[in-house]
């Protein structure tokens, strides 16, 4: 059976996360599998590079599927998208891959983006797409705090109690924080890169660094929280709506 890799965008707001759940619960995986079933008799099961929570968005999610028919990749992308309407999910690239390719296990890097907006007036056009706070933030302090999280660490403090990962030890390759203009406010973009992430790790990082930027935490307290290896030492976990799975890296880019 031919195997196809799919690059997927989605607005996570209407969905109860990526992973297929009990009937009646809308999920991104469920929407795509239903679209595939209208192309070929199913059932179909797709595998993704990462499972995003309810409200989390995708800009560069990657999944793979096995189909009976030899599809032209351009036509397959269009056919899936036609059957996805009107759900806010879109296949933006499709590639024929070797049957050894696995969207999750072949991945060597995952990239996340978090958008945080500081503004007094409620956002309108980005409602559900950013986390908004009403106070100013200190970019330099947040960058100092984030520096403590780079490298190989035991991230127990920043790990959800529901995390299913076998180990809390991960290597954080990069955390960049960029400040840019936003109508009547400022936007802070957190870009994070690692081979893999723990459940709620990014939201725990950003929620803690927001406290640093607001002046409630000193940057050195991030190092202390990390060393504590205690979930109770974490700052508040921020809401999901500003979080995006931004991209997935493979030894060879299937979409190149």
101 and 114 co-located in one domain = no
Q: Quick one: the chain helix, strand, coil %, rounded to 5? A: 25, 30, 45
53 is annotated as an active-site residue: yes
Q: pLDDT for 17-54, tens place per residue?
A: 999 887 778 999 999 999 999 999 878 999 999 999 99
What is the overall mean pLDDT for the chain?
96
* Full-model pTM: 0.95
Would 98 be classed as within a structural domain?
Answer: yes
Residues 60 and 182 in one domain: no
Same domain for 33 and 101: yes
1 confidence band (pLDDT: 50, 70, 90) = confident
Q: Looking at the structure, do residues 169 and 199 belong to the same domain, yes or no?
A: yes
* Number of structural domains in the chain: 2
Q: Which CATH number characterizes residue 83's domain?
A: 3.30.70.580
132 & 80 share domain: no
Residue 63 and residue 144 in one domain: no
| Domain CATH for 167 | 3.30.70.660
Domain-ending residue, one of 106, 139, 154: 106
Residues 15 and 47 in one domain: yes
Binned at pLDDT 50, 70 and 90, residue 181 comes out as very high
| Stretch 132-136: mean pLDDT | 96
Same domain as 213, residue 114: yes
- What's phi and psi for 162, nearest 5 deg? -95, 5
Q: Are residues 232 and 162 in the same domain?
A: yes
SS3 152: strand
What is the torsion angle, in degrees rounded to the nearest 10, for the CA atoms of residue 152, residue 157, residue 160 and residue 165?
30
Torsion of CA 32, 22, 112, 148, to 10 degrees: -170
Active-site position among 11, 41, 53, 66: 53
146 and 88 share one domain: no
Q: Which domain holds residue 118?
A: 109-247
pLDDT per position as a tens digit, 67-96: 999 999 999 999 999 999 999 999 999 999
């Amino acid at each position: 059976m031919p195997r196809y890799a799919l690059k997927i965008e989605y607005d996570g707001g209407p969905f109860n996360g990526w992973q297929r759940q009990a009937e009646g619960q809308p999920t991104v995986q469920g929407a795509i599998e239903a679209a595939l079933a209208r192309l070929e008799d199913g059932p179909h099961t797709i595998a993704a590079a990462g499972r995003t929570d309810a409200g989390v968005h995708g800009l560069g999610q990657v999944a793979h599927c096995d189909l009976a028919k030899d599809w032209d990749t351009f036509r397959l992308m269009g056919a899936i998208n036609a059957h996805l309407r009107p759900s806010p999910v879109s296949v933006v690239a499709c590639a024929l891959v070797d049957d050894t390719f696995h969207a999750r296990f072949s991945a060597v890097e995952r990239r996340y983006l978090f958008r945080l907006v500081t503004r007094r007036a409620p956002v309108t056009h980005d409602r559900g797409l950013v986390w908004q706070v009403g106070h100013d933030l200190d970019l330099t302090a947040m960058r100092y705090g984030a520096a403590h999280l780079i490298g190989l660490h035991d991230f127990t403090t920043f790990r959800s109690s529901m995390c299913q990962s076998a180990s809390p030890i991960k290597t954080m390759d990069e955390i960049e924080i960029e400040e840019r203009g936003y109508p009547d406010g400022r936007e802070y973009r957190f870009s994070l890169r690692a081979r893999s992430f723990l459940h709620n790790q990014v939201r725990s990082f950003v929620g803690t660094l927001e406290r640093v930027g607001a002046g409630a935490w000193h940057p050195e307290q991030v190092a202390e929280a990390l060393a504590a290896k205690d979930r109770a030492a974490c700052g508040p976990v921020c809401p999901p709506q500003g979080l995006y799975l931004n991209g997935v890296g493979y030894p060879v880019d299937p979409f190149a």
